[in-house]
Structure 1
């Protein structure tokens, strides 16, 4: 069986120092800001960013056009609905006027018929009274 050996303080300190050295080496190995590869990557990033901004601006413009078109269509639909509502109201009012006129005509006909029946009845009554020779009090003989 292998003997397990616990790391002592010196080994841990040496491992930490080696990690720091490796990190420093990696940092030192970074190219400078004026390196052509770094400048090329920066130019590429700027081009990508500019293209993205152009796409976003185009997308925003298309969205604004779509919203404006939808607003116009909505206004047209509302105007058509309002015109249809007004036409329906006018048709209902015209129909109501026609019904009222027909009702007034029917009432006038009923009143005329009633007056005619009354006149005939009064004539019969007057003829009967004339045959008997008597006139009722207050009868004018219309």
Structure 2
């Protein structure tokens, strides 16, 4: 008579061996699949560093340009002040010469009148 539940010694040994094989197969390392777009940590870090350096260089260049613009504006302001002072001196000298000329003309007329 055959055992329908297969509870015989040999059957139990065979089932235990199958279970052991299945457990070992589960523990066996599986072949890895690498991502084609994978970027390793060092490369990613280098890219981030490069981006930060580029940003800082741009900020430094902008600050330098701003400082140059301020310096240029200051030079232009000084030149404008100097030009204004020169114009004021010229105008004053013209007025002084005109006043002296007028005074000389009046003296001449006064002499002619006497």
Alpha-carbon RMSD: 2.1
The equivalent residue for 1:104 is 99
In the other structure, the counterpart of 2:88 is: 93
Say yes or no: does 1:50 pair with 2:53: no
Greater gyration radius: 1
| Shift of residue 54, structure 1, vs aligned partner | 0.4
Task: Give the length in aligned residue pairs.
Answer: 84
Which stretches in structure 2 are left out of the alignment for 5+ residues? 1-29
Q: TM-score, normalised by structure 1?
A: 0.54
TM-score (norm 2): 0.66
| Gaps in structure 1 of 5+ consecutive residues | 1-31, 120-142
> Which of 34, 38, 58 is 1:38 aligned to?
34
Equivalent residue for 2:57, pick from 55, 59, 62: 62
Q: What's the CA shift for 1:45?
A: 2.8
Superposition misfits of 4+ residues, deviation over 4 angstroms = none
**1:117 matches 2:112:** yes
Structure number with the bigger relative contact order (C-alpha 8 A, sep ≥ 6) is 1
